[in-house]
Chains A and B, each alone.
Chain A
């Protein structure tokens, strides 16, 4: 008997979210904003809002990468560890040569290479994404601690900070990079042949293969692209923190990345999601953290809350898969 593929809503291009899902998300977001306003009206000062976006930039860029992988039907748990290692390599290159360009290139290349390793294992060796990227997370994390001796590298050349902490037209560079990356990824997924193929592979790999989609190559490229974005996140976070260290990729970051994606409506079952929505999800995760902070709630309760949000939204996503 033929088992019909889960009939999930949202087509590749005409990305239409079912009304209820969107409604729930908007309602929750509105509730949180009202809560903030009540707790701390200062929050809505433009300077503070910009500040929130700067803080969110690293998470948002990682979430963009995760979105690409998740739409293709996979997951990449190594993104934060990849970012940390890329930041370290790039900073070492930068302090050794004094070249900002070379350092940034090193970060991007390192990120893309680690992503490509994940992609090759998943796409060509047909290994399970969860296991491969978990192992990669451990390896990258271990390497980061080992080569830095658990210390921070903070002797990047001054022009690096000048460039990435600049505020063209009053907007911080990190925010510009985040928004540009979001729009570019959205365009890649929505407008290009590669993007269409990612949605197709994530929706039904068997049917995609019959339809001449180079399934393995597409999967490989999703991981490589996500890795490249981890390298970009490394640039942003190194500039903001003024140093590179193994700790920026700590374990709670991956939870935030996944939370941002599911809040943004990216399906863990593949084939559904929008990069800009995931970016908004990242901002929401950060705002939520700020609110809890303002309320004096423990960091650990925050973790529990984020976990609960993931479970709740994934349950919704599953229900959507079954009912449609």
Chain B
């Protein structure tokens, strides 16, 4: 097979946002009639590369070439004119408008100043046929399945006859059958000579549909492989890079206490599928999975934060394990969310008021908040966690990230939780602060608290986990013991089975 010349080349791209170097050496090529996967962990620079390609931001350095011609985009319109189109991750359709209207939204065909409905409908039908989809173009989009909506979205992208079509996380909300249809449509487009860039966290999908794989890490393109000449394990390794020798904070063989929480068949499609696991007292259970695998969805579903879930949650109580609703679980769980500023804290409030908020019942007498007790509690926790503040009255919004995160922990510690859930607790913190937070988690586990820890950094996870819960493609794939090696953990992300299933 002869390799066609690339229709798109991006070389030596650099882009910084303020002091953050989002992309430092971005390279990729896309060829007509080929599906190229762009992979990378969180923060690898994929989104920035796509924003550069879409003309949303301009590069600090480097070149973008389309069919051998260097181009520079002043805005999205230039990119569209150059033949670039995106199928958005969010299904951004207008629900009450018809399929045809959605396909042509923003560029209705007109005749004598009026919308030419007949032309619009026949063209929409033709575009959908190109995807192998048969959808009544006169129907409102509201009544369509997620998969059909996606087809409408693709048809809209095809309207401008793009040479390069980018799919950003196209399968994250699709069922298995819909995914298969999507992949058929992508193969059809490929056969029609469109260059396709496919971004996904689902590695098995990538191997199902893609010809070539480009891997980015920390803002750099680190590898390009033909899909036929690599495997899932190598790709995951490339995405994550070398992981520094992990200095464990705790031994990996702690004897686990009794089961504190048992989860059986937790399901909330499409976010969580059939998740089952045990969490023991005194253990740190590291949730290991790629971004988008459903780690956050799992813990939020457990706490009932994103709507109803099916399945059973059992909590250890005076009479042993007993089923409880998520609300009861929330009452004994400290939850450090991944969105510290948006959900973890009330930024305009003082340190002491933030600490007091979840503990108002204990701090009030006859409904009246006891200010003395609030202050006392805040001072005690500021001391225990060595939070650097001018005093309990300092506004939380003015603290550094590490100290803010300590305030989040402080507000939960006052209530002596039996379960602690940490979702990316060290994101955006400096090394010393990261260490502080991890040590706190270890101390709490030592006191018998059952800890669930989510982290995108394997190194961090390996420093503290007694056991690993492998999360893959929205379900719990199994567990690995605390002494699992880095290679085993990485393999667990891609291997079809190969992990222990909890007894």
State the A residues within 8 Å of B (CB). 2-5, 7-14, 191-197, 199-200, 203-204, 206-213, 271, 324
* Contact across chains for B342 and A206 when beta carbons are under 8 A apart: yes
* Contact across chains for A203 and B348 when beta carbons are under 8 A apart: yes
A12 vs B341: C-alpha distance when bound (angstroms):
17
State the B residues within 8 Å of A (CB). 305, 330-331, 335, 337, 339-350, 353, 356-358, 360-361, 363-364, 367-369, 371, 393, 395, 397, 411
Closest Cβ–Cβ distance, residue B214 to chain A (whole Å): 23
Instruction: Give the 10 A-B CB pairs with smallest separation, nearest first.
Output: A211-B358, A193-B364, A193-B360, A211-B357, A212-B358, A4-B341, A11-B350, A7-B397, A11-B349, A207-B343
Asked, given contacts A191-B369, A203-B348, whether A196 binds B356 with beta carbons under 8 Å apart, the answer is yes
Determine which of B335, B367, B397 lies in contact with A210 in the assembled complex, contact meaning CB atoms within 8 Å: B335
* Contact across chains for A194 and B367 when beta carbons are under 8 A apart: yes
Determine which of B330, B340, B357, B364 lies in contact with A192 in the assembled complex, contact meaning CB atoms within 8 Å: B364
* Contact across chains for B342 and A8 when beta carbons are under 8 A apart: no
* Contact across chains for B361 and A193 when beta carbons are under 8 A apart: yes
Closest Cβ–Cβ distance, residue B349 to chain A (whole Å): 5
Closest Cβ–Cβ distance, residue B502 to chain A (whole Å): 28
Residues in chain B near residue A2, CB distance under 8 A:
339-342
Give 16 A-B pairs besides A11-B395, A212-B358, A324-B348 with Cβ atoms closer than 8 angstroms. Answer: A3-B342, A5-B341, A5-B348, A10-B348, A13-B369, A14-B350, A193-B368, A194-B367, A196-B353, A196-B356, A200-B346, A204-B346, A207-B342, A210-B337, A213-B357, A271-B348
A196 vs B340: C-alpha distance when bound (angstroms):
20
Residues in chain B near residue A192, CB distance under 8 A:
364, 367-369
A5 vs B395: C-alpha distance when bound (angstroms):
14
Residues in chain A near residue B348, CB distance under 8 A:
5, 7-11, 203, 271, 324
* Contact across chains for A203 and B346 when beta carbons are under 8 A apart: yes
Residues in chain B near residue A324, CB distance under 8 A:
348
* Contact across chains for A12 and B342 when beta carbons are under 8 A apart: no
Residues in chain A near residue B337, CB distance under 8 A:
210
A151 vs B348: C-alpha distance when bound (angstroms):
50
Asked, given contacts A2-B339, A192-B367, A193-B368, whether A208 binds B357 with beta carbons under 8 Å apart, the answer is yes
Asked, given contacts A7-B397, A11-B350, A212-B358, whether A196 binds B369 with beta carbons under 8 Å apart, the answer is yes
> Chain A interface secondary structure, helix, strand, loop or mixed?
loop
A212 vs B414: C-alpha distance when bound (angstroms):
13
Residues in chain B near residue A13, CB distance under 8 A:
350, 353, 369, 371
* Contact across chains for A212 and B345 when beta carbons are under 8 A apart: no
Residues in chain B near residue A12, CB distance under 8 A:
349, 353
Asked, given contacts A5-B347, A193-B367, whether A212 binds B331 with beta carbons under 8 Å apart, the answer is yes
Residues in chain B near residue A194, CB distance under 8 A:
367
Residues in chain B near residue A4, CB distance under 8 A:
341-342, 347
* Contact across chains for A212 and B367 when beta carbons are under 8 A apart: no
Residues in chain A near residue B369, CB distance under 8 A:
13, 191-193, 195-196
Residues in chain A near residue B347, CB distance under 8 A:
4-5, 7, 204
Closest Cβ–Cβ distance, residue A69 to chain B (whole Å): 19
Asked, given contacts A192-B368, A196-B353, whether A207 binds B346 with beta carbons under 8 Å apart, the answer is yes
Q: Considering only CB atoms, which chain B residue lies closest to A204 in the complex?
A: B346
Closest Cβ–Cβ distance, residue B415 to chain A (whole Å): 9
* Contact across chains for B360 and A197 when beta carbons are under 8 A apart: yes
Residues in chain B near residue A191, CB distance under 8 A:
368-369
A271 vs B369: C-alpha distance when bound (angstroms):
18
Closest Cβ–Cβ distance, residue A204 to chain B (whole Å): 5
Residues in chain A near residue B364, CB distance under 8 A:
192-193
Q: Considering only CB atoms, which chain A residue lies closest to B331 in the complex?
A: A212
* Contact across chains for B353 and A11 when beta carbons are under 8 A apart: yes
Residues in chain B near residue A197, CB distance under 8 A:
357, 360
Q: Considering only CB atoms, which chain A residue lies closest to B360 in the complex?
A: A193
* Contact across chains for B330 and A212 when beta carbons are under 8 A apart: yes
Determine which of B339, B346, B350, B371 lies in contact with A208 in the assembled complex, contact meaning CB atoms within 8 Å: B346
**Most A CB within 10 A of own CB, among B335, B356, B361, B363:** B356
Closest Cβ–Cβ distance, residue A112 to chain B (whole Å): 18
Q: Considering only CB atoms, which chain A residue lies closest to B351 in the complex?
A: A11
A51 vs B350: C-alpha distance when bound (angstroms):
41
A208 vs B344: C-alpha distance when bound (angstroms):
9
Closest Cβ–Cβ distance, residue B499 to chain A (whole Å): 31
A213 vs B349: C-alpha distance when bound (angstroms):
15
Residues in chain B near residue A213, CB distance under 8 A:
357-358
Q: Considering only CB atoms, which chain A residue lies closest to B337 in the complex?
A: A210
**Most B CB within 10 A of own CB, among A12, A192, A211:** A211
Q: Considering only CB atoms, which chain B residue lies closest to A271 in the complex?
A: B348
Could you give 30 example pairs across A and B, Cβ below 8 Å? A2-B339, A2-B342, A3-B342, A5-B341, A7-B348, A7-B397, A12-B349, A12-B353, A13-B350, A13-B353, A14-B350, A193-B360, A193-B369, A196-B353, A196-B356, A196-B357, A199-B349, A203-B348, A203-B349, A204-B347, A206-B342, A206-B343, A208-B346, A208-B357, A210-B305, A210-B335, A211-B358, A211-B411, A212-B357, A213-B358
Closest Cβ–Cβ distance, residue B22 to chain A (whole Å): 11
Residues in chain B near residue A7, CB distance under 8 A:
347-348, 397
Q: Considering only CB atoms, which chain A residue lies closest to B371 in the complex?
A: A13
Residues in chain A near residue B368, CB distance under 8 A:
191-193
Q: Considering only CB atoms, which chain B residue lies closest to A188 in the complex?
A: B367
* Contact across chains for B360 and A207 when beta carbons are under 8 A apart: no
Asked, given contacts A11-B395, A196-B360, A208-B357, whether A5 binds B367 with beta carbons under 8 Å apart, the answer is no
* Contact across chains for B393 and A14 when beta carbons are under 8 A apart: yes
A210 vs B341: C-alpha distance when bound (angstroms):
12
Closest Cβ–Cβ distance, residue B378 to chain A (whole Å): 12
Q: Considering only CB atoms, which chain A residue lies closest to B333 in the complex?
A: A212
A207 vs B358: C-alpha distance when bound (angstroms):
10
Q: Considering only CB atoms, which chain A residue lies closest to B350 in the complex?
A: A11
